[in-house]
């Protein structure tokens, strides 16, 4: 197994919400796997690794604790055919700096209207767009450590759909998840491309020894007419996951 600095997280509708016990963190090399030497070097420098993978078997996150196991299990159940993941490891001077960074991330995740202005590069159109072109908050519900936020949102080339975002912040852990509550319809062909619950974004951010780690995964179980419209759907879904993770990574630079 390669020795690598580790990574973050997306994350979590069904997690328990309890921070890991003291002393529960393993060595850095036990957080991540399936990394090239170039990717390991990027993590050493504190740079995000954002990449597409073909299946959960290729995930860079090892099942090192209950949350990591649960995250992997949710994606195994989802059976996504499009997946993008984020791995990040940044040095922190002390717990105070780590806590401040987690608070910044929580504020960014809570600001769902701010998602609209996240820049998204359209590979097909060769131009920059906003991540979403419409975001309406339907309901915000307080929960332990954070909120559950139900929204109605729109992103081309799909019809408007409802989604739920959740985040929970603890002294040394931040959890986040996003899931569609309605089918996602490909407007140009009136094709139900994704069933309810078929698009999942998760983030898991946690403290280690002298570093803050993050692992994120965005997966979609999409019906693409047996590959006929994959060249349209995959870049649109995964390009947005990429843009969202880059936005999150930027929030860690204090």
- Express each pLDDT in 49-75 by its tens digit: 999 999 999 999 999 899 999 999 999
| DSSP for residue 104 | H
SS (H, E, C) 200-225: EEEEEEEECCCEEEEEEEEEEEECCC
What is the tens place of the pLDDT at every residue in 172-230? Answer: 899 999 999 999 999 877 889 999 999 999 999 998 888 899 999 999 999 877 566 77
Residue 14 within a domain = no
Residue 40 within a domain = yes
Residue 191 within a domain = no
What pLDDT band is residue 22 in, cutting at 50, 70 and 90?
A: very low
Task: State whether residue 147 is helix, strand or coil.
Answer: strand
- Domain containing 32 equals 28-110+169-180+196-250
Residue 15 within a domain = no
Residue 202 within a domain = yes
Residue 24: phi and psi, rounded to 5, are -85, -10
Task: State whether residue 53 is helix, strand or coil.
Answer: strand
What pLDDT band is residue 4 in, cutting at 50, 70 and 90?
A: very low
Give the C-alpha separation, 68 to 104, whole Å: 23
Name which of 206, 208, 209, 180 is nearest 195 in CA terms.
180
List, in sequence order, every residue forming a beta bridge with 175; answer none if it has no partner: 168, 204
Q: Is residue 153 scored above 90 in pLDDT?
A: yes
Give the C-alpha separation, 109 to 90, whole Å: 19
Helix (H) or strand (E) holding 70: helix 66-78
Q: Is residue 10 scored above 60 in pLDDT?
A: no
Domain count, the chain: 1
The upper half-sphere exposure of residue 185, i.e. CA atoms within 13 Å in the direction of its Cβ, equals 10
Name which of 191, 130, 183, 177 is nearest 156 in CA terms.
130
Give the C-alpha separation, 198 to 229, whole Å: 17
Residue 20 within a domain = no
Residue 159 within a domain = no
Residue 78 within a domain = yes
Both ends of the chain: CA-CA distance in Å?
31
């Amino acid at each position: 197994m390669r020795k690598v600095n580790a990574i973050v997280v997306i994350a979590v509708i069904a997690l328990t919400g309890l921070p890991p016990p003291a002393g529960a963190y393993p060595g850095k090399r036990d957080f991540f796997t399936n990394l090239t030497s170039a990717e390991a070097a990027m993590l050493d420098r504190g740079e995000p690794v954002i990449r597409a993978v073909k299946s959960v078997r290729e995930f860079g996150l090892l099942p090192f604790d209950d949350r990591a196991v649960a995250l992997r299990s949710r994606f195994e159940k989802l059976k996504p055919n499009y997946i993008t993941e984020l791995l990040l490891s940044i040095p922190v001077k002390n717990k105070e700096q780590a806590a401040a960074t987690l608070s910044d991330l929580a504020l960014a995740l809570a600001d769902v209207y701010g998602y609209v202005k996240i820049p998204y590069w359209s590979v097909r159109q060769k131009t920059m767009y906003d991540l979403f072109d419409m975001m309406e908050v339907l309901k915000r519900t307080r929960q332990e450590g954070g909120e559950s936020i139900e929204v109605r949102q729109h992103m081309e080339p799909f019809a408007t759909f409802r989604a739920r975002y959740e985040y929970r912040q603890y002294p040394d852990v931040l959890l986040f998840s996003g899931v569609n509550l309605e089918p996602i319809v490909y407007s140009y062909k009136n094709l139900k491309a994704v069933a309810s619950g078929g698009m999942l974004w998760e983030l898991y951010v946690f403290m280690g020894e002298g570093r803050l780690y993050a692992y994120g995964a965005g997966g979609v179980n999409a019906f693409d007419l047996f590959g006929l419209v994959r060249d349209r759907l995959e870049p649109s879904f995964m390009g947005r996951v990429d843009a969202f993770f880059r936005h999150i990574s930027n929030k860690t630079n204090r």
